[in-house]
A = this chain, B = another copy of it.
Amino acid sequence: MDITQFSQINPPQRLLMGPGPINADPRVLRAMSSQLVGQYDPAMTHYMNEVMALYRGLFRTENRWTMLVDGTSRAGIEAILISAIRPGDKVLVPVFGRFGHLLCEIARRCRAEVHTIEVPWGEIFTPDRIEDAIKRVRPRLLLTVQGDTSTTMLQPLAELGAICRRYDVLFYTDATASLGGNPLETDAWQLDAVSAGMQKCLGGPSGTSPVTLSARMEEVIRRRKCVEEGIRTDAHHDGVDEMVYSNYFDLGMIMDYWGPERLNHHTEATSALFAARECARLILQEGLDNTIARHKLHGDALLKGIMAMGLETFGDLQHKMNNVLGVVIPRGINGDQLRKLMLEDFGIEMGTSFGPLHGKVWRIGTMGYNARKECVMTTLSALEAVLNYLKFPTIQGAAMQAAWDHYCTGNPQ
């Protein structure tokens, strides 16, 4: 191998307007490049405690066990599912997009008995529909996705917590794509577990996954407790339920590492923790409600511009996430050719789609650091230019004007 061919890293400048990852906030990248400290350094454990406090703020919870799972967002999902689901447990998954299928798949790997209800992509479930299924299936866990980027839909969760308590069901949601850009009230909605990701509305790089667990969920997980040989003492006792299939994702061990015993498990991914701390700090400085309002403002401005361009949107707009929009690829336009021109000639990334929407829908994100006016305006004008180049007619100036109008009315400052 000729090592001289591997030059210093120098990624092209891109404006990432897909469904995530998006450009990280430069302040987060700077925080992440801080020099390391040891994992039991008082400075490090202090930062870990701060991260717990900051994410309680983001998750709107008093949950003691609010911490990071080292891995991308699906690491957080899997840690919760594999720690909570015992082989043979019944779980119910309302599937309205790709990430519902993912929850089913992970649950099957945990040897759960998986029951699903489905709606077509682009729709969400009413609480009644979910309650009926709970009555029929009597699951131990309800596994939901809050915002499924594959369809851009946001499932309403506010009423589900009370239903779950009524039937003694543990209530989990995957908020990877929604947290920070859409309301989520862990305690008020009686959620037992939530996981999130950094690379969407939180404005960081993927690599660590914030999770929060209710006291009820803690109790379930503690029943499967296990302490590693080599660091266990006579004071340690294992739980009564069957051992979790994973060591890395055993949340009982991760709690013991984040808790006062600081029992060694993995070596915390310090740089990712620094980044996660800065993401949460920036949002709470802005004010979480303001951050959510900012996502709505820019998401709506994009929507107005897209509609004025004569493009059709995908899915139920009443239940769209603030931070991502599905745009139907017009007849006669090659979706991938347009995305290639956007990337190569304007440095702007738009998203493609999965499964039934593949080749039919583009996805445009306005989230995290890229939930900004200049990102929306730049994307709209480039998109219009490329569409015109590909012979799709638009009314000159209408899309930009619609976005400007929205900013004038929607953002009176």
What is the distance, in angstroms, from A8's C-beta to the closest C-beta of chain B? Answer: 7
Complex CA distance for A208 and B268, rounded to whole angstroms: 11
Q: Tell me if B228 and A101 are in contact (CB < 8 A).
A: yes
Complex CA distance for A46 and B85, rounded to whole angstroms: 38
Q: Could you say which residues of chain B place their CB within 8 Å of the CB of A354?
A: 230-231, 264
Residues of A64-119 at the interface with B, using a CB-CB cut-off of 8 Å, are 70-75, 78, 82, 97-102, 104-106, 108-111
Q: Could you say which residues of chain B place their CB within 8 Å of the CB of A97?
A: 230
- Which one, B34, B245, B281, contacts A245 given CB within 8 A? B245
Question: Is A378 among interface residues, defined by CB-CB distance under 8 A?
Answer: no
Q: Could you say which residues of chain B place their CB within 8 Å of the CB of A409?
A: none
Closest B-chain residue to A278, C-beta based? B9
Q: Tell me if A269 and B104 are in contact (CB < 8 A).
A: no
- Which one, B22, B34, B110, B349, contacts A9 given CB within 8 A? B34
Q: How many copies does the complex hold?
A: 2
- Quick check: which of A12-20, A211-219, A289-297, A312-320 contacts chain B, the rest being far away? A12-20
Question: Is A47 among interface residues, defined by CB-CB distance under 8 A?
Answer: yes
Q: Tell me if B70 and A71 are in contact (CB < 8 A).
A: yes
Residues of A15-74 at the interface with B, using a CB-CB cut-off of 8 Å, are 16, 18, 20-24, 26, 29-39, 41, 43-44, 47, 50, 53-54, 56-57, 70-74
Complex CA distance for A412 and B199, rounded to whole angstroms: 50
Q: Tell me if A268 and B54 are in contact (CB < 8 A).
A: no
- Which one, B16, B26, B47, B231, contacts A355 given CB within 8 A? B231
What is the distance, in angstroms, from A33's C-beta to the closest C-beta of chain B? Answer: 4
- Which one, B44, B72, B101, B269, contacts A206 given CB within 8 A? B269
Q: Tell me if B285 and A110 are in contact (CB < 8 A).
A: no
Question: Is A244 among interface residues, defined by CB-CB distance under 8 A?
Answer: yes
What is the distance, in angstroms, from A55's C-beta to the closest C-beta of chain B? Answer: 11
Q: Tell me if A275 and B269 are in contact (CB < 8 A).
A: no
On whether A230 and B101 interact (CB within 8 A), knowing A248-B71, A271-B32, the answer reads: yes
What is the distance, in angstroms, from A63's C-beta to the closest C-beta of chain B? Answer: 14
Q: Tell me if A11 and B281 are in contact (CB < 8 A).
A: no
Question: Is A207 among interface residues, defined by CB-CB distance under 8 A?
Answer: yes
Closest B-chain residue to A81, C-beta based? B247
Complex CA distance for A109 and B226, rounded to whole angstroms: 11
Closest B-chain residue to A108, C-beta based? B243
Which residues from chain A sit less than 8 Å from chain B, CB to CB? 1, 3, 6, 8-14, 16, 18, 20-24, 26, 29-39, 41, 43-44, 47, 50, 53-54, 56-57, 70-75, 78, 82, 97-102, 104-106, 108-111, 150, 197, 199, 205-208, 226, 228-231, 243-249, 264-272, 274-275, 277-278, 281, 284-285, 343, 349, 354-355
Provide 30 A-B residue pairs closer than 8 Å at the C-beta atoms, listed in order of the A residue. A1-B53, A3-B284, A3-B285, A6-B50, A6-B277, A9-B277, A11-B34, A12-B37, A12-B41, A16-B36, A32-B32, A32-B33, A33-B33, A41-B343, A70-B206, A71-B248, A74-B265, A78-B246, A98-B230, A101-B230, A104-B229, A110-B245, A205-B270, A205-B272, A206-B269, A206-B270, A207-B272, A230-B355, A269-B272, A271-B275
